[in-house]
Amino acid sequence: MPAREAFKLGRALVVPSRAESFPYVVLEAGAAGVPLISTNVGGIPEIVAETGTTLIPPEDVEALADAMRAVLGNPELAKWKADELRDAVGRRFTITSMNSAILQLYYGALGRI
């Protein structure tokens, strides 16, 4: 099932990872305007930077439960944060900007050899 179709079946995406690199499912949820509950690991902080999305420490069960209760208890605030994340993802993670960043990384690495 495509992620965008699956997102419609829930009220939030919960990503309780202990480790990640740069999870596309978080980008996809952000682009779809889905409320996100996630841990502060890997590239996730980069994705949600400068938005109202709060990340929780990995393996903190109480914080995870609190975050889920907060989203379910205040869906209007959760939607506002999701819309803010959607706008940020739309601005910062375009094909052009990501391609440019990767090329800069490679060119920089080649220049240091």
- DSSP assignment, residue 53? P
Q: Are 50 and 16 a contacting pair, CB within 8 Å?
A: no
Query: Which residue stretches of the chain have pLDDT < 50?
Result: none
Could you tell me the two tokens for 12? 């939030």
pLDDT at 98 (0 to 100): 86
Q: How many domains does the chain have?
A: 1
pLDDT tens readout for residues 50-74: 999 999 999 999 999 999 999 999 9
What is the DSSP code string of 62-81? Answer: HHHHHHHHHHHH-HHHHHHH
Q: What are phi and psi of 39, to 5 degrees?
A: -90, 160
CATH code of the domain covering residue 98? 3.40.50.2000
Quote the pTM value.
0.84
Strand order in the sheet with 13-15: 13-15, 36-39, 55-56
pLDDT at 113 (0 to 100): 55
pLDDT at 104 (0 to 100): 92
pLDDT at 14 (0 to 100): 97
Domain hosting residue 74, numbered range: 3-111
